[in-house]
Structure 1
């Protein structure tokens, strides 16, 4: 197979699961001999949230303080300006990982600047705004080839669009996410003043899709048995507006008498640097990830690789790629069941079993294998580049 030049488009330079996926995928593709360049709009000018072992492009973007529709429109236009010339489009393959990049590439195709594009659908949101909903559909409908990270969303694409999508999965870097503690673990404990615990970790910020309110309700019950328990809410960088749900969560915390702050029952870290994530997983006694909707749940693999017992929703996609021994499965609508799972994850025998099975499950998912599963779609699009573009 000849080496390919691949432009990978993601929506942000911030530490979100989809962005982490793009960077790791590009690194694996480069290790296979291809040139994969990750692009993202970068209004801060600070670059990606971590250094990458491969080329990246921070696309010039203007800060937007307005509605979500205005923000998404601005980011699509940022991409259109960046790829406005044939020289900027000198790639064999274009690969969008979200609706922003997908809409930009669909427009560029109509302008005859690109022959087509691959689109990975990580998950599909439910938008009440018809403009956002149409952009989301267009970025799927006009793609040349579709990929998904789980069978759940491939089935959804088949049922809603009548198109077959390939399944590429996810990966985890076992050289980064390891069980062995480092000096960073103690430094992180001190930075956030984490006590003896137990420490429950939630990744994704205060977001309805992540079921943060359910985690808070379960954690309040756990505190009745473990008064020293702390809940760490990490992440939260998002293009979408979650302010109303965040207010609901803060009200629930206040009603439960749970204060938020460094060294307090609930610690909100905000976005966490990539270099700190392995330590954060290791200092946590359990990862609570009972999401309502996920593309795959990349942080579950990362936590398992670090030896952290994990709680997930008894729903796809978790039920696709995890066995019952790998994690504790719960009904995301039942805080009592989630609280019992938190307690179960702390018992030595159950904990040891989850750690052993979780590490084995993480080891079965490599970024190299994930990258290799992309190559058929890439080659199909690369061949299309040699054919006349049809409007």
Structure 2
């Protein structure tokens, strides 16, 4: 009989987009790490004609064809969910997967549909964080995407606890990782060109916010804090990178744009839009501090990426950040701030620019970043996958005996 602990698994990972969002990054990093462990991994991602994943991956990729552009979040979710179901029904007619694993609610609902149709026995779902939606259908679909799963994972203890308290779901903790080969404080020959291409000014200080303009990211308060900081440091610059979200942030974006226009600081705020993946390490190195004063996060992967790049981080004093970053700022990892207080964010920005903090960071960063690797995350995922597969085989054997 084959050694079940060593037999490669056929794994399908579903992600909601081809754009650089945290959950998509998690999917691709996990896929490559599982591939390195010898598993047969396929990433499924919805895409319109001409689109491709923002970053290459070493495993197989199947783009789920989208043909209809929608005007509402409800229609977008329904359309992508249906496209996943249709694509996977064709795929499952000729191929077997030991594990189908959704990283978001769209993929989770598609797999729940396939369970109800009797096409698959179960699936794994990772919950990064939960959102609040005004539309009751979106709230129902969000919950179904993990309550219907056979196995639920979270990237932080915070969300494991939330799922247990609010839904009675026992989720297992599997952390994110950080690629210390990719994110490093060692400059490259391309750094200067990247900095110039995205409009960063030397001298700064430069604050980098990643994720675009969103209420969850607290971008409006971060702009207010930057404007207060700029009173004393007029050469300061705020760079907001990314923002390729499937959700509707237009109303919040208009508030942000109105404040920026009224402030007269437009030349000091750079909106990069989606940034080429290969440029991100250089942007982290070029920044004097990462600004991550979010109101809600699943893990906050970019904090580890910034720290690994030698860049201090201004971070909300909330979980999950408090789970993995030391409380004592003197250790150099981050500068804490109350995300609801503009004054607190402004003060943390000033501390992050203190040269003494930068010196402390240089010695403290390895201790926190080396605790997290995608290789360790993949090993933990593999163990949980195998445990669920063994459980499924045992249940099947009991059904046969009955």
Contact 1:89-1:114 at 8 Å conserved across structures:
no
User: 2:70 — aligned with what?
Assistant: 65
| Larger CA deviation: 73-82 vs 337-346 | 337-346
SS in 2 for 1:370: helix
Q: Deviations over 1:304-327 (max 9, x none)?
A: 110000011000000001112321
Q: Which of 349, 354, 373 is the equivalent residue of 1:342?
A: 349
1:144-293 correspondence runs (5 A)? 144-195=150-201, 196-259=203-266, 264-293=267-296
SS in 2 for 1:208: coil
SS in 2 for 1:267: strand
Q: For 1:142 and 1:291, how far apart are their aligned partners in 2?
A: 29
1:215 CA displacement: 0.7
| Larger CA deviation: 81-90 vs 146-155 | 81-90
Q: For 2:390 and 2:100, how far apart are their aligned partners in 1?
A: 12
Q: For 2:148 and 2:95, how far apart are their aligned partners in 1?
A: 18
Q: For 1:79 and 1:177, how far apart are their aligned partners in 2?
A: 33
Contact 1:210-1:291 at 8 Å conserved across structures:
yes
1:66 CA displacement: 1.1
1:332 aligns with 2:339: yes
Q: For 1:90 and 1:323, how far apart are their aligned partners in 2?
A: 44
| Larger CA deviation: 156-165 vs 15-24 | 156-165
Q: Which of 110, 133, 147 is the equivalent residue of 1:127?
A: 133
Aligned-residue Cα RMSD (Å) equals 1.5
Q: For 2:68 and 2:12, how far apart are their aligned partners in 1?
A: 23
Q: Which of 83, 90, 98 is the equivalent residue of 1:78?
A: 83
Seen in structure 2, the aligned counterparts of structure 1 residues 10 and 357 have a Cα distance that, compared at 3 Å, is same
Paired positions, count: 386
User: 1:39 — aligned with what?
Assistant: 44
SS in 2 for 1:328: strand
SS in 1 for 2:339: coil
Unaligned runs of 5+ in 1: none
After TM superposition, where is structure 1 displaced by more than 2 Å over at least 4 residues in a row? 85-89, 380-390
User: 2:360 — aligned with what?
Assistant: 353
1:288 CA displacement: 0.5
SS in 2 for 1:373: helix
Q: For 1:35 and 1:384, how far apart are their aligned partners in 2?
A: 21
SS in 1 for 2:209: strand
Q: For 1:108 and 1:275, how far apart are their aligned partners in 2?
A: 36
Contact 2:49-2:65 at 8 Å conserved across structures:
no
Q: For 1:383 and 1:46, how far apart are their aligned partners in 2?
A: 38
Q: Which of 353, 376, 379 is the equivalent residue of 1:372?
A: 379
Query: Structure with the greater relative contact order (CA < 8 A, sep ≥ 6): 1 or 2?
Result: 1
| Larger CA deviation: 68-77 vs 29-38 | 29-38
SS in 2 for 1:287: strand
1:307-318 correspondence runs (5 A)? 307-318=310-321
Q: Which of 98, 103, 116 is the equivalent residue of 2:109?
A: 103
Q: For 1:301 and 1:266, how far apart are their aligned partners in 2?
A: 24
1:360 CA displacement: 2.7
Q: Deviations over 1:37-87 (max 9, x none)?
A: 111101143211001122221111124131100000000001011011333
1:27 aligns with 2:32: yes
- Give the TM-score normalised by the residue count of structure 1: 0.95
1:51-62 correspondence runs (5 A)? 51-62=56-67
